[in-house]
Amino acid sequence: MKTPKSAAMFAKVDEWEKSGQSLREFATAMGLSKGALSYWVRKKRKISRKTPSFVELSPLVKPKVSIEASSKHPIADAQAQLVFTFPGGMCIKVYG
């Protein structure tokens, strides 16, 4: 949760990024130390990199399963609902 101070400092970081000035020049013009502004720049970047740990995935359409298909091996004739292919070549298939 952002505090009023962090919101104000993040706004200053945004101003600095748009200003084209060096960190030192901008900090001096705002009456801040270079170290203080650097701290808020790092903090804002760290927060903006955070992503949710869990993301809910759900298929768009539920598959219709016939009685015949359910009596066989579940994966034999099924098509994968979700397929994740990673850069290293590993592939994860989720059957539903």
C-alpha distances in Å from residue 43, one per residue of 1, 48, 71: 13, 9, 56
Task: Please check the confidence at residue 86 and state whether its pLDDT lies above 60.
Answer: yes
How far is the first Cα of the chain from the last one, in angstroms, to the nearest whole number? 38
Return d(Cα 36, Cα 13) in angstroms, integer: 11
pLDDT digits (tens, 9 = 90+) for 4-24: 888 999 999 999 999 999 999
Tokens of 9: 């400092």
- Three-class DSSP category at 17: helix
- Asked which of 43-52, 57-66, 77-86 is least confident by mean pLDDT, the reply is 57-66
Residue-range domain boundaries for the chain: 4-49
| Residues whose CB is less than 8 angstroms from the CB of residue 77 and which lie 6 or more positions away in sequence, other chains included | 69
> What pTM, to 2 d.p., does this model score?
0.51
